Structure formats: C-alpha cells, structure tokens
Amino acid sequence: MLPGAFRHEAMPYCGAEQFVGLAASFLERAVQEREPALVLVDEPKQAQLRDALGPAGASVTYRDVRVVGRNPAHIIPVWRSFVDDHAGHGALWGIGEPLWPERSASEIAECHQHEALLNLALADAATLTLACPVDVGVLAPATVSATVRCHPDVRTGGAARVNAAYSGVDPLALLSDPLPAAPGDAAVFPFTDRNLQALRAHVAAAAAAHGFALDRTGDVVLAVDEVATNSYRYGGGGGTLRTWASGGGLVCEIEDGGRFSDPLVGRRRPSSDRIGGRGLWIANQLCDLVQVRSSGEGAVVRLHVRPTP
C-alpha cells in the first residue's frame, strides 16, 4: 500500500470466528489509540465484535449495513461523511461488508460496482484504511473473486499485502458494463416532454397492479419522473420506459440516447446550494436499487423498487 493514500483492503474470511479475529486485529490500533472507527456489518457480527473488543472498544461506531446499505449506492455517502466529519483527527479506520448471501444478482453486480467506485470516491481520503470482509464460506466463488479484484490490497492473517489481482479502475468500463436484457414481455412506453403526465399515470398504474400502496406508488412515480426528465433534457428529447415484475417488486428501465461521464453519478450527496443534477440522487433515495450504464449506444437507468421501502 502507498503511504499517504486511501487504503482499501479485501478481507476474506470463513465463518464468524475468523471474521471476529481478523476484524479485532484490524481495529487493534484504533481501539488502543482511540482513533475514529466505523463498522458497517450486520447486527450479529456487531454483537460478536463488541464482545471481542470489550470495554476498550467502546469508541468504535457501528451501523447495520443491511439497513444503510440495502441500496449499495447509499454506502459511499456514509463513508464520505465519516471522512469529512473526522477531518484532522489523524488515522481513520473502517470495516464495511456490503455483500450477503441473500443479495440478488442485480444487487451483487452493484456491490461490485460499489467496491470499485470506492477507489475513486475516496481517493483523497489519505488517512482512511477500509477493510471489506468477504465471506468465502457462503458466497459463490465467482462473487468472491470479482469482489476481491476490486481492492488494491488483501488482508490475510492480520496483515495486508498488495493484491496482484487488482487491475485499477477504468471509469468508462464500469459505466459500460452491460445489464441483462429486459424480458420480452416488458411493457414499453416511449416518451418525450409532451407526454410525461401520461408516463407518470402509466407508472402509477403498473405499481398499483403489483400491489404497491399509495405512498410507495408515489415513490416509484417520482423516481421515474426524475430520470425521465433528465432524458428529455440531456438524452435527446425523450426515451423509452420499460416496466416488468421481478423478485416481488417492480423494475422500471429508462433508456435514451444520452451519455453519462461520471461513474459516481447518483452516489454523491448534492450540495445544498446546487441547482439541478439531483435526479439520480433522488432516485437512489427512493428505490431499493439503481443501476446506471452508458455506452456509445446511449444510457440506461434501471430502477428496482419493492412494495415496501
């Protein structure tokens, strides 16, 4: 790892005992020196780690990753706030585990995007060392290897080493990573700025048909409206909406002729004085998952929404 640079480590483990041992070893300096530390793992791991650290670990902050990271796009703003809130405090320590066995294939894909994008989003966080546990005992081998490849370093046996499998971050490659094709029976609705009201009615009807309550239907309509508005403003005057059922929820995909150039779009908290540019941020706050892709053929935003937030 380079001195004076953000340190991003994969931490493979198998089982609770090994997780606790590696995590406690990683946090040893933070606990001894009372340096700021934030741990984003599920509640059972929080309890195990608290017990292992004992009273000396009272200064470590914990948050349930299954709540704050249900949508993986929510995690980078958490780390950004942690770094900014502790500017000038010296060394910072973090543990974050965004992957768990119940994640859908789409969520796993976005977790890989998230891990790769951390290297861009926190490149200036020179005092932060972030270890990302990866449970090799329950995750598929392909998922493990794809996750580990996103990290410049790997932590094993309590020490970190350079990850030979890491090949850097290509922002354009991240944006152009293809999504699975929409199903053939997806409902198709072409739109321009002239029929956005009809588009909103179409989305509301689709959500209601899939059992969404009124408030949650409003979330879906607002999220689609934000993205569709971007399409007619920046994507050639309009686009195509496709909707279909998936995993007990609803998927709304907006495709247009525009391009995204920022792989972190929708993952940075907009400043309070910024006018515009909030559409994908708002969509990420309302949806369970937002997938953004862009290539020479245009842009695709795929919104995944469950009936309950």
Nearest residue to 20 (alpha-carbon basis) of 63, 49, 46:
49
Q: What is the pLDDT of residue 1?
A: 41
User: How sure is the predictor about 169, in pLDDT bands with cuts at 50, 70 and 90?
Assistant: confident
Structural domain boundaries in the chain: 7-169, 175-305
Q: Which two tokens stand for residue 51?
A: 């017990």
**66-80 pLDDT, tens digit each:** 999 999 999 999 999
Percent of the chain at pLDDT > 90 equals: 85
* Measured distance between the N- and C-terminal CA atoms of the chain, rounded to whole angstroms: 39
d(CA 14, CA 131): 15
Pairing of strands 92-96, 61-64: unpaired
pLDDT of residue 160: 94
Residue 183: pLDDT over 90: yes
Confidence of residue 266 (pLDDT cuts 50, 70, 90): very high
Q: Which CATH superfamily, name and number, covers 175-305?
A: Histidine kinase-like ATPase, C-terminal domain (3.30.565.10)
Dihedral in degrees, nearest 10, Cα atoms 159, 113, 265, 186? -160
How confident is residue 276, by pLDDT bands cut at 50, 70 and 90?
low
pTM equals 0.94
**What average pLDDT is seen over the chain?**
94
Q: Tell me: the pLDDT tens digits for 124-168?
A: 999 999 999 999 999 999 999 999 999 999 999 889 999 999 988
CATH T-level fold of 7-169: Rossmann fold (3.40.50)
Percent of the chain with pLDDT over 70: 97
Reported confidence tier of residue 57, pLDDT bands at 50, 70, 90: very high
Kindly tell me if the per-residue pLDDT of 2 is higher than 60: no
> C-alpha angle with apex 211: 210 to 215, nearest 5 degrees?
115
Q: How does pLDDT run across 20-52, given as a tens digit for each residue?
A: 999 999 999 999 999 999 999 999 999 999 999
C-beta of residue 198 within 8 angstroms of C-beta of residue 45: no
